């Protein structure tokens, strides 16, 4: 793991104050490497028992849930999203010359990869409309009908963009599993983990 350790250590040169890396295989820790400071100003070295804020942590849970359903053979990564969620059939794309019909279909793999063309604008006109029409509830599956009306930023599969792809994936889980996403993850991930 020397190459990986050296790579992580190089983060310190770019101003990252510290890091703590753990790699597990078959439930066993096969690498633990940390370096830098948990408190840079007071020069307190990382000890390995620090607490970290983990942002967007639901994305890992959503991807895990979707991959559980994939492992059961309930869909292919090459499937069209519109085959499961018809509101994504007639997508449009923003271009330099205005909005046009999308040439490429959104595939399920694009949701995992964040290459579907969605934005991360949670204040878009359609999402604001969804908030208004659902009294702020924005149920996962229902919200997709609004998101699908927004033009994509680019053709699906063309490039990567941090976006609402995993939110759409959560709605896809509801369609495939027949359960609310929170119920699915509770039963199949959180309860299993205790």
d(CA 42, CA 40): 6
Mean pLDDT of 109-124: 97
Asked whether residue 162 carries a pLDDT value surpassing 90, the answer given is yes
Residues 80, 109 contacting (CB under 8 angstroms): no
pLDDT of residue 54: 75
Per residue in 179-192, pLDDT (tens digit) is 999 999 999 999 99
Of the pLDDT bands very low, low, confident and very high (cuts 50, 70, 90), residue 156 is: very high
pLDDT of residue 149: 97
Residues 111, 166 contacting (CB under 8 angstroms): yes
Burial class of residue 166 in the structure, from the number of CB atoms within 10 Å of its CB (0-12 exposed, 13-18 middle, 19+ buried): buried
Per residue in 69-106, pLDDT (tens digit) is 999 999 999 999 999 999 999 999 999 999 999 999 99
- pTM of the predicted protein model: 0.77
Per residue in 9-67, pLDDT (tens digit) is 999 999 999 999 999 999 899 999 999 999 999 999 999 999 887 778 899 999 999 99
Q: CA nearest 153: which of 128, 120, 127, 126? A: 120
pLDDT of residue 103: 97
Helix-, strand-, coil-residue percentages of the chain, each rounded to 5 = 40, 15, 40
DSSP designation for 13: G
Neighbours of 10 (CB within 10 A): 10
């Amino acid at each position: 793991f020397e190459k990986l350790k050296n790579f992580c250590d190089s983060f310190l040169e770019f101003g990252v104050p510290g890091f703590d890396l753990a790699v597990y295989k078959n439930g066993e820790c096969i690498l633990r490497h940390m370096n830098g400071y948990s408190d840079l100003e007071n020069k307190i070295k990382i000890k390995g028992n620090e607490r970290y804020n983990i942002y967007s942590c639901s994305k890992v849970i959503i991807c895990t849930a979707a991959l559980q359903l994939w492992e059961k053979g309930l869909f292919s990564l090459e499937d069209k999203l519109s085959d499961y969620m018809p509101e994504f059939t007639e997508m449009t794309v923003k271009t330099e010359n205005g909005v046009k019909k999308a040439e490429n279909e959104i595939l399920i793999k694009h949701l995992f990869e964040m290459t579907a063309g969605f934005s991360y604008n949670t204040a878009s006109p359609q999402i604001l409309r969804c908030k208004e029409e659902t009294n702020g509830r924005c149920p996962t599956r229902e919200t997709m009908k609004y998101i699908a009306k927004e033009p994509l930023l680019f053709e699906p599969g063309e490039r990567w963009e941090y976006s609402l792809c995993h939110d759409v994936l959560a709605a896809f889980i509801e369609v495939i599993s027949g359960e609310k996403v929170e119920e699915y993850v509770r039963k199949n991930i959180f309860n299993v983990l205790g």
